[in-house]
């Protein structure tokens, strides 16, 4: 891409931007939470909306000069409500963590009990991990998955009856199976708990109608906008009308100041893209690609966790199947031009800095245009790298092949 003005004004930053562009073009992005936005989204991000303060909401702001910020935020709100069939939306959270914090703040009092998924079983840090602020404010109790990767809803109900949560939280960042939303919500109803779903990872697959929509089952649904949804880096909240005021107050002024209007403009563009028929094809292909990756790696001996995948990612126990730590697997793939992340496995005996596995996702390479044929080749490269013992020659040769394939599927033409 051309950045002539930046090049002249700040060579050091220009070089970093160009380096990152080259890294993205020449390598395979397989971190499950990453994707490539369209040029239109990129353009919206780099607009004069970044100059504007807009505390408040459309029609009721604290500063003047809001005629165009109101237009763009209203576009984002209308589109995202249509996309997910939501009664109310807030597109101001700066991130998924901010969205979750505001979700809790809207409906909980300090000390209230929340039932959320354990981190090593696929839950997110912000779902109550002791190192986070929410865990210092609220009392999180964690539920786990079963050995076959499913959630045992009878066990969950028993636990809910025991701990009497005020909120039952569904959602994950490294769980690969579908949650039964109706069953989950029914349990919450039985114990008188409110419900929240963090759909950050699968928002795009839901928007593209490839996965069921949690919105009708949950009081509050939070998400990021940059994962499978393929928008700019940021967060959002959807909720039932009855929680609308509380959510808006919890985002601003509760947990945030001025919204980032350039990001909100880009969110509006991304939501518009997700409403188009092509996005359904993308979501469907993402699921297909993940399934092919699972099958191809299983064939080669990889231990896939949670009994396989029903979404866009897989988690592999690399210690069990390849005798290598997750961090070596991540490093070797990096050297081969494939970016993934090391990941804990359920109740990981090795801990988060040196975990037993890796998480691999296909949203970005699906955006790039990869289909079943290419995924089979990619699975071969991954398996070869895992068996390479870190041999630099083998990894360099895979990297060369990766580069050739990437050239055939440019991200930005």
* Binding residues vs ligand DSN (CB under 6 A): 33, 96, 124, 173
Nearest to 175 by CA among 331, 306, 339, 78: 306
Residue nearest to ligand DSN (CB): 33
248 is catalytic: no
23 is catalytic: no
55 is catalytic: yes
Considering the candidates 79, 166, 177, 233, report the single residue annotated as catalytic.
233
**337: left (phi > 0), else alpha (psi -120 to 50), else beta?**
left
Considering the candidates 224, 255, 318, 339, report the single residue annotated as catalytic.
224
Question: To the nearest whole angstrom, how small is the minimum distance from the Cβ of residue 40 to ligand DSN?
Answer: 24
Nearest to 45 by CA among 226, 244, 227: 226
Considering the candidates 29, 73, 118, 198, report the single residue annotated as catalytic.
198
Question: To the nearest whole angstrom, how small is the minimum distance from the Cβ of residue 33 to ligand DSN?
Answer: 3
Considering the candidates 53, 280, 284, 401, report the single residue annotated as catalytic.
53
- Tokens 């044929």 map to which residue? 373
By beta-carbon proximity to ligand DSN, the closer residue of 96 and 214 is 96
DSSP, residue by residue, 159-223: HHHHH--SEEEEE-SS--S---HHHHHHHHHHHT-EEEEE-TTTHHHHHTTSS---TTT-SEEEE
Residue 226 tokens read as 């940059």
By beta-carbon proximity to ligand DSN, the closer residue of 124 and 267 is 124
By beta-carbon proximity to ligand DSN, the closer residue of 96 and 134 is 96
By beta-carbon proximity to ligand DSN, the closer residue of 31 and 207 is 31
Cα angle at 107 between 101 and 111, to 5 degrees? 80
Question: To the nearest whole angstrom, how small is the minimum distance from the Cβ of residue 173 to ligand DSN?
Answer: 4
Number of alpha carbons in the 13 Å side-chain half-sphere of residue 403: 11
By beta-carbon proximity to ligand DSN, the closer residue of 33 and 366 is 33
387 is catalytic: no
Would you call the peptide bond into 402 cis, given omega within 30 degrees of 0 as the criterion?
Answer: no
Question: To the nearest whole angstrom, how small is the minimum distance from the Cβ of residue 174 to ligand DSN?
Answer: 7
- Distance between CA atoms of residues 59 and 227, nearest Å: 30
Question: To the nearest whole angstrom, how small is the minimum distance from the Cβ of residue 227 to ligand DSN?
Answer: 7
Q: Show which residues are catalytic.
A: 53, 55, 198, 224, 227, 233
């Amino acid at each position: 891409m051309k950045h002539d003005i930046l090049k002249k004004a700040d060579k050091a930053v220009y070089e970093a931007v160009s380096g990152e562009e080259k890294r993205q073009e020449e390598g395979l992005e397989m971190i499950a939470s990453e994707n490539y936005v369209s040029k239109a989204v990129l353009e919206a991000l780099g607009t004069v909306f970044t100059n504007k303060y807009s505390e408040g909401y459309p029609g009721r702001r604290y500063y003047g000069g809001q005629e165009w910020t109101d237009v763009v935020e209203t576009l984002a709100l209308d589109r995202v409500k249509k996309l997910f069939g939501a009664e109310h939306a807030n597109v101001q959270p700066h991130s998924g963590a901010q969205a979750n914090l505001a979700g809790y703040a809207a409906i909980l009092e300090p000390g209230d009990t929340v039932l959320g998924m354990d981190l090593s079983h696929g839950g997110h840090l912000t779902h109550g991990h002791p190192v986070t602020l929410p865990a210092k404010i609220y009392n999180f109790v964690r539920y786990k998955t079963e050995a076959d990767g499913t959630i045992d809803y009878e066990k969950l109900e028993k636990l809910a009856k025991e701990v009497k949560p005020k909120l039952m939280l569904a959602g994950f960042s490294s769980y690969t199976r579908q949650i039964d939303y109706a069953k989950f919500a029914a349990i919450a109803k039985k114990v008188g708990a409110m419900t929240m779903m963090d759909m950050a990872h699968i928002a795009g697959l839901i928007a593209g109608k490839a996965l069921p929509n949690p919105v009708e089952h949950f009081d509050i649904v939070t998400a990021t906008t940059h994962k499978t949804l393929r928008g700019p880096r940021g967060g959002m909240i959807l909720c039932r009308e009855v929680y609308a005021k509380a959510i808006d107050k919890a985002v601003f002024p509760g947990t945030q100041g001025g919204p980032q209007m350039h990001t909100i403009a880009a969110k509006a563009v991304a939501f518009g893209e997700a409403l188009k028929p092509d996005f359904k094809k993308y979501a469907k292909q993402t699921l297909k690609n993940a399934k092919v990756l699972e099958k191809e790696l299983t064939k080669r001996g990889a231990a896939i966790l949670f009994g396989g995948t029903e979404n866009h990612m897989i988690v592999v126990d690399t210690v069990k199947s390849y005798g290598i730590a997750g961090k070596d697997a991540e490093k070797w793939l990096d050297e081969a031009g494939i970016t993934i992340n090391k990941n804990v496995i359920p109740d990981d005996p090795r801990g988060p800095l040196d975990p037993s596995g890796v998480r691999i996702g296909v949203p970005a390479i699906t955006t790039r245009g990869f289909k079943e044929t290419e995924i089979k080749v990619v699975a071969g490269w991954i398996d070869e790298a895992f068996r390479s013992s870190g041999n630099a020659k083998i990894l360099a040769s895979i990297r060369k092949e990766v580069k050739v394939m990437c050239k055939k599927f440019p991200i930005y033409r």
